[in-house]
Amino acid sequence: MTQSREFKLAERSAFWYPGPMGSQDLTSSEAYRAAAPVPGTTAIAQAQLAGFWRRLGAYIVDGIVLGVVFGVLFGIASAVSNGSGLILGIVYLILIVGELAYFGYLWSSRGQTIGYMALGLRLVRTDGTLVGPGRAVARLLLIGLSFSISGIPAVISAFMVGMGERKQAIHDLIVDTLVVRA
């Protein structure tokens, strides 16, 4: 009994890929785009993958939103503290916790931060389901780590998103996520 090429591709990637109508040849990138969602998941798994520029734009929007909110908070604390290191340290701690809460909550509850909503993106697991809060926070921490380690992992991730078949950065591969167009 011979197996079709589509079935052989599916065996290697743990997804079932329906062959396009009238086509016998199916490359791995075409197979991924034509993937049927795993039973019990949403159809979001079939969405178009988000590229580098759209993702960068979403992070810029999120940075502006967080920058305005935390800038106001920091300005108020600076005026009230009169240069006290303790109060400014508490504000920095609030900023870190606030950023973790912002991304962790929004990515896990809707798959979208404000920046992702503005640019039509959604964060999902590779099976199409929403990420949990732990995975969302781990992803954010890995993004921060990639920038803090000389920026080289961030540059590699940018190339992976821009030119990779699945548009996954290093942090996406580690936590098993995809950024898709909503």
Range of the domain at 148: 52-181
Instruction: State how far the Cα of 101 lies from the Cα of 97, in Å rounded to an integer.
Output: 6
The domain total for the chain is: 2
| pLDDT reported for residue 46 | 55
Residue 146 lies in a domain: yes
| pLDDT reported for residue 170 | 94
Instruction: State how far the Cα of 48 lies from the Cα of 34, in Å rounded to an integer.
Output: 10
| pLDDT reported for residue 47 | 66
For the chain (length 182 residues), average pLDDT per consecutive 10? Answer: 45 40 44 46 64 94 95 86 78 91 95 96 92 95 91 91 91 94 88
Residue 170 lies in a domain: yes
| pLDDT reported for residue 33 | 47
| pLDDT reported for residue 38 | 47
Do residues 62 and 73 touch, judged by C-beta distance below 8 A? Answer: no
Residues 100 and 70 in one domain: yes
Entry pTM: 0.71
Residue 42 lies in a domain: no
| pLDDT reported for residue 79 | 83
| DSSP-based three-state secondary structure for 179 | strand
